[in-house]
Amino acid sequence: MDWGPRVWPPEVLQWLGLATLLIAAMPAHADDTGLMGRKVIFNVSTYDDPATPYLTSRDYIGVVADGPEFGMQPEGLIGIDVVPVLIDVSANRVVFSYETAEPSAFAIAKFNGYILRFPTECVLITDAAIDLDDTTLPLKSNALTITAQSLSLNVSGLGFDQQDRIALTLKVRDCPLS
């Protein structure tokens, strides 16, 4: 048998070149860190007209890591105030729990809810959904709004107690940290 240099036909070389380019264009490994390590800005807002809100909390800024990122308490506003809530953001999930809140109901408005923003220049969030198996509040299908860098969750008028929780699942694209 001859083990000398082999001459490949041009169509095989062309195919091998294309395969090499495609493999080189693929990431070395899939990014499974999702939102971990990302800056997140959280606040609550209540309004019928976004230009004149009844309530907009201060911005709470955190970095997504293991354990809850935010523990909101009332801000001492007259008439309408923030409902105590614990927010845990993970790689591809957000969970809101009310274990420190007294049973009550969220004020009724066109929008009364939570806004999470992830400052970045690229499309980060490609999809999000309410995890119905892990959510105890009867959220409407249009309660969750997503953009490329944010989530808004409308809880207007819903009653809650200390056992209630809301869970969201997210699909997140690999995107450089900002």
Q: What does the pLDDT look like over 78-134, one tens digit per residue? A: 566 677 788 999 999 999 999 988 899 999 999 999 999 999 888 899 999 999 999
Q: What is the pTM of this model?
A: 0.77
CA distances to 44, 70, 114, 160 from 165, in Å: 16, 15, 13, 9
